[in-house]
Amino acid sequence: MKLSIYGKGCKKCDQLTANAQEAAEALGLRVEIEKVTDVNAIIDAGVMNTPALAVDGEVVTEGKVASAQELEKLLKG
Protein backbone atom coordinates (compact mmCIF):
# COMPACT_ATOMS: atom_id res chain seq x y z
CA MET A 1 0.00 0.00 0.00
CA LYS A 2 1.32 3.43 -0.92
CA LEU A 3 0.45 6.50 1.13
CA SER A 4 1.20 9.91 -0.34
CA ILE A 5 1.33 12.99 1.86
CA TYR A 6 0.77 16.19 -0.13
CA GLY A 7 2.04 19.46 1.32
CA LYS A 8 4.93 21.87 1.51
CA GLY A 9 6.64 20.13 4.43
CA CYS A 10 5.04 22.13 7.22
CA LYS A 11 4.36 20.91 10.76
CA LYS A 12 0.85 19.83 9.77
CA CYS A 13 2.29 17.67 6.99
CA ASP A 14 4.76 16.13 9.42
CA GLN A 15 1.94 15.39 11.88
CA LEU A 16 -0.20 13.80 9.16
CA THR A 17 2.77 11.63 8.18
CA ALA A 18 3.26 10.53 11.79
CA ASN A 19 -0.46 9.79 12.18
CA ALA A 20 -0.51 7.75 8.97
CA GLN A 21 2.50 5.74 10.11
CA GLU A 22 0.87 5.14 13.52
CA ALA A 23 -2.39 3.99 11.89
CA ALA A 24 -0.59 1.63 9.53
CA GLU A 25 1.42 0.11 12.39
CA ALA A 26 -1.70 -0.32 14.52
CA LEU A 27 -3.33 -2.26 11.67
CA GLY A 28 -0.20 -4.25 10.91
CA LEU A 29 -0.03 -2.87 7.38
CA ARG A 30 3.13 -2.62 5.36
CA VAL A 31 3.10 0.78 3.68
CA GLU A 32 5.34 2.98 1.63
CA ILE A 33 5.02 6.64 2.62
CA GLU A 34 5.84 9.24 0.00
CA LYS A 35 6.01 12.97 0.72
CA VAL A 36 4.98 15.11 -2.25
CA THR A 37 6.13 18.72 -1.89
CA ASP A 38 6.27 19.81 -5.54
CA VAL A 39 3.46 22.31 -6.16
CA ASN A 40 2.83 21.06 -9.69
CA ALA A 41 2.57 17.45 -8.51
CA ILE A 42 0.14 18.52 -5.78
CA ILE A 43 -2.03 20.33 -8.33
CA ASP A 44 -1.81 17.39 -10.77
CA ALA A 45 -3.17 15.13 -8.02
CA GLY A 46 -6.21 17.40 -7.74
CA VAL A 47 -5.34 18.56 -4.23
CA MET A 48 -6.65 22.04 -3.46
CA ASN A 49 -5.92 22.18 0.29
CA THR A 50 -2.92 20.76 2.10
CA PRO A 51 -2.07 18.69 3.94
CA ALA A 52 -3.68 15.86 2.06
CA LEU A 53 -3.34 12.08 2.11
CA ALA A 54 -3.78 9.70 -0.80
CA VAL A 55 -4.01 5.93 -0.51
CA ASP A 56 -2.77 4.18 -3.65
CA GLY A 57 -3.31 7.38 -5.65
CA GLU A 58 -6.80 8.22 -4.33
CA VAL A 59 -7.03 11.35 -2.16
CA VAL A 60 -8.88 10.42 1.05
CA THR A 61 -8.30 13.47 3.26
CA GLU A 62 -7.60 17.05 2.33
CA GLY A 63 -7.06 20.31 4.20
CA LYS A 64 -6.80 18.79 7.68
CA VAL A 65 -4.61 16.67 9.89
CA ALA A 66 -6.57 13.47 10.31
CA SER A 67 -5.97 11.65 13.58
CA ALA A 68 -4.42 8.20 13.66
CA GLN A 69 -7.84 6.81 14.65
CA GLU A 70 -9.55 8.44 11.65
CA LEU A 71 -6.84 7.10 9.38
CA GLU A 72 -7.20 3.60 10.79
CA LYS A 73 -10.86 3.63 9.72
CA LEU A 74 -9.91 4.84 6.23
CA LEU A 75 -7.16 2.25 5.83
CA LYS A 76 -9.39 -0.62 6.98
CA GLY A 77 -12.04 0.11 4.36
Active site residues: 10, 13
Q: Are 29 and 72 a contacting pair, CB within 8 Å?
A: no
Q: Where are the extended beta strands (E) located within the chain?
A: 2-6, 32-36, 52-55, 58-62
| Helix H or strand E segment including 26 | helix 11-27
In angstroms, rounded to a whole number, what is the distance separating the alpha carbons of residues 9 and 50?
10
